[in-house]
Structure 1
Amino acid sequence: MSKFPVVKTGEDVTRQVLADHPELMVVAFRFGAVGAEGALHHHPHVQSTFVESGRFRFTVGDDVSEVGPGDSFVIPSETVHGCVCLEPGTLVDCFTPRRDDFL
């Protein structure tokens, strides 16, 4: 069980840090309803995303794709990205270096 709290990040969206080190962080984002959004944003961290469950439409730079359970991909530093939930589920994101703003 994670020692970190569950934090509401948007309508029907939460995040919870699962593991943390100065060079790497693992975070679960849970989307509870169709249409819930991870707003378009960018950050200096390299991010990998693994779809644990659910379906999502992801925008990464100029590319838009639908992803589902078992899919994974990497988002380069400073690339604009976001998603819309098509079926409730969980994304597991890893960030390097860690996201100090999530602590």
Structure 2
Amino acid sequence: MSEPVQSFPEISPGPGVLRQVLADAPELMVVSFRFEAGAIGALHDHPHVQSTFVESGRYRFFLDDETFEVGPGDSFVIPSGARHGCECLEAGRLVDCFTPRRDDFL
């Protein structure tokens, strides 16, 4: 028998941003981030490897010394320890996967 699906609340880590854990296990976590146009994902780093899929919207990403723009259907990987953040150019949603999971999001 499988365990019931856990529902996580949406929280606002910053102005114009909503975060919701979609699924988690010790080895992997899937998280939705909804951004309003102009919202900022603050520069930060963490030991987790992160993959990002752009479901909708347009974003300018900052990854270490690199800057690039992404839109619907784009995806990329952020290595462990890399300093990164983004600016939302057009409202939308990002889906991030982290390995291992981010216990600070629970």
Give the TM-score band, short-chain normalised: over 0.9
Identity %: 72
Partner residue of 2:90 out of 84, 87, 91? 87
Offset of 1:2 from its aligned partner?
6.1
After the TM superposition, which parts of structure 1 deviate over 3 Å for at least 4 consecutive aligned residues?
Answer: none
Structure 1 vs Structure 2 CA RMSD: 1.1
Letter in 1 for 2:51: S
TM-score normalised by L of structure 2: 0.94
Q: Which runs of 5+ in 1 are unaligned?
A: none
The aligned residue for residue 7 of structure 1 is 11
Distance 2:10 2:49 in 1: 23
Give 5+ residue unaligned stretches, structure 2.
none
The aligned runs of 1:1-103 (5 Å cut-off) are 3-32=7-36, 34-103=37-106
Structure 1-normalised TM-score? 0.96
Corresponding residue SS for 1:79: coil
